[in-house]
C-alpha cells in the first residue's frame, strides 16, 4: 500500500539512494583493502642458535604497522617449549644471553608447542592482512625468514615473498650518511623478541626522517643524473 501511494518517482528516489549507498560502500571497502595491502608484518625470533639444521625457535613476537610505521595491531608474544637437551646444547653465547634475560627458564616452563604458536600467529595475521601481499619486516629478518620457512610454513605462505630488512638501511646509512648513522637509535640488546621489534620500527622511522630526505627530485635517464 505504501509503495502504491508513493508512486514511481518516490521509488526511483529510494532506488537511487540505495545505489548511492552501495557505491559508497564499495569505495570504502576498496580503500580499506588498499590500505591493508600497505601494511607490514614485523617479526622477531629468538632461537637456540643460527644453524638451521639443528637449532629451533624459542620465542616469537609479531606486530603490524601501516605504511607510516604506526603500530595498528599487536600480535602474540609467545615462548615456545623446547626439550632440555636442546637448551643444554646451546652455544655459550646463547646460554649467557638467554640465561641472563630469563628466556631459557621461560622456555623450560612454557606449555606452548610449535604448532600451537604457528596457529596463533597465522590467525593474527589473517585477521589483519590480506593474503600474499604484505611483506615480512624486521632487523636481519632474512635470518628469521629461513627459520620461519622451515618451522612455520603456513605463516610464511600468507606473506609476500619480499622482505623489509632494516639492517640493509643501516649498512647503506653507515656508508652514505655517516653523520646520521652515528645519531641513529642504539640497540638495547635485550635479546627479547618484542623489544627487538619495537627498536627496529623506531630505527626505520629514524632512517625515513633523516635518510629519505625531501631534496629536489632527481632521476636517472639513460645512465645520466638529471635535476
- Show Cβ contacts of residue 70 under 8 Å, excluding neighbours closer than 6 positions: none
Lowest mean pLDDT among 31-40, 82-91, 214-223: 214-223
Which of residues 217 and 104 earns the better pLDDT score?
Answer: 104
Fold of 37-164: Nucleotidyltransferase; domain 5 (3.30.420)
Please count the helices (runs of H) and the strands (runs of E) in the chain. 10, 7
pLDDT at 109: 98
Which of residues 22 and 195 earns the better pLDDT score?
Answer: 195
- Residue-wise pLDDT for 86-130, tens only, equals 999 999 999 999 999 999 999 999 999 999 999 999 999 999 999
Percent of the chain with pLDDT over 90: 74
Residue 225 scores a pLDDT above 50: yes
- Residue-wise pLDDT for 148-177, tens only, equals 999 999 999 999 999 999 999 999 999 999
pTM for this predicted structure? 0.81
Residue 190 scores a pLDDT above 90: no
- Residues noted as catalytic: 191
Percent of the chain with pLDDT over 70: 78
Q: How far is CA 98 from CA 91, 94, 103, 193, in A?
A: 10, 6, 5, 11
Which of residues 144 and 15 earns the better pLDDT score?
Answer: 144
| Sign of the dihedral defined by the CA atoms of residues 146, 148, 154, 155, in that order | negative
Sort strands 136-138 and 163-165 into parallel, antiparallel or unpaired: parallel
The three grid cell numbers given for residue 135, joined into one nine-digit string: 611483506
Is residue 8 packed enough to be buried (19+ CB in 10 Å), middle (13-18) or exposed (0-12)? Answer: exposed
pLDDT at 187: 80
Residue 226 scores a pLDDT above 80: no
pLDDT at 217: 63
Identify the bridge partners of residue 216 per DSSP, sorted by sequence position. none
Residue in 31, 37, 33 with CA at minimum distance from that of residue 159: 37
Rounded CA separation 204/184 (Å): 9
Report the run of H or E that residue 75 belongs to, with start and end. strand 71-79
pLDDT at 1: 42
pLDDT at 2: 40
Q: How many CA atoms lie within 13 A of 25 on its CB side?
A: 6
pLDDT at 61: 97
pLDDT, mean over the chain = 88
The three grid cell numbers given for residue 22, joined into one nine-digit string: 552501495
Residue 42 scores a pLDDT above 80: yes
Torsion, Cα 26 32 36 39, to 10 degrees, reads 150
> For 65, which DSSP code?
E
Domain boundaries, the chain: 37-164
Which of residues 24 and 162 earns the better pLDDT score?
Answer: 162
pLDDT at 196: 93
The three grid cell numbers given for residue 49, joined into one nine-digit string: 642458535
Report the run of H or E that residue 62 belongs to, with start and end. strand 57-65
Residue 32 scores a pLDDT above 50: yes
Rounded CA separation 34/121 (Å): 22
Amino acid at each position: 500500500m505504501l509503495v502504491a501511494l508513493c508512486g514511481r518517482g518516490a521509488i526511483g528516489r529510494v532506488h537511487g539512494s540505495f545505489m548511492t549507498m552501495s557505491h559508497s560502500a564499495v569505495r570504502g571497502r576498496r580503500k580499506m583493502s588498499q590500505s591493508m595491502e600497505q601494511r607490514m608484518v614485523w617479526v622477531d625470533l629468538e632461537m637456540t642458535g643460527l644453524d638451521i639444521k639443528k637449532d629451533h625457535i624459542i620465542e616469537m613476537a609479531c606486530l603490524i604497522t601501516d605504511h607510516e610505521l604506526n603500530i595498528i595491531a599487536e600480535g602474540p608474544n609467545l615462548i615456545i617449549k623446547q626439550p632440555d637437551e636442546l637448551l643444554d646444547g646451546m652455544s655459550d653465547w646463547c646460554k649467557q644471553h638467554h640465561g641472563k634475560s630469563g628466556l631459557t627458564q621461560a622456555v623450560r616452563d612454557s606449555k606452548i608447542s610449535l604448532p600451537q604458536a604457528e596457529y596463533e600467529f597465522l590467525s593474527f595475521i589473517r585477521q589483519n592482512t590480506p593474503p600474499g601481499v604484505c611483506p615480512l619486516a624486521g632487523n636481519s629478518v632474512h635470518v628469521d625468514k629461513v627459520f620461519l620457512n622451515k618451522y612455520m610454513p603456513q605463516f610464511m605462505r600468507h606473506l609476500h615473498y619480499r622482505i623489509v630488512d632494516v639492517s640493509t638501511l643501516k649498512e647503506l646509512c653507515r656508508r652514505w650518511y655517516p653523520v646520521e648513522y652515528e645519531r641513529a637509535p642504539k640497540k638495547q640488546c635485550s635479546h627479547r623478541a618484542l623489544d627487538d621489534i619495537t627498536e627496529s620500527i623506531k630505527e626505520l622511522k629514524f632512517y625515513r626522517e633523516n635518510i629519505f630526505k625531501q631534496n629536489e627530485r632527481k632521476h636517472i635517464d639513460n645512465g645520466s643524473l638529471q635535476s
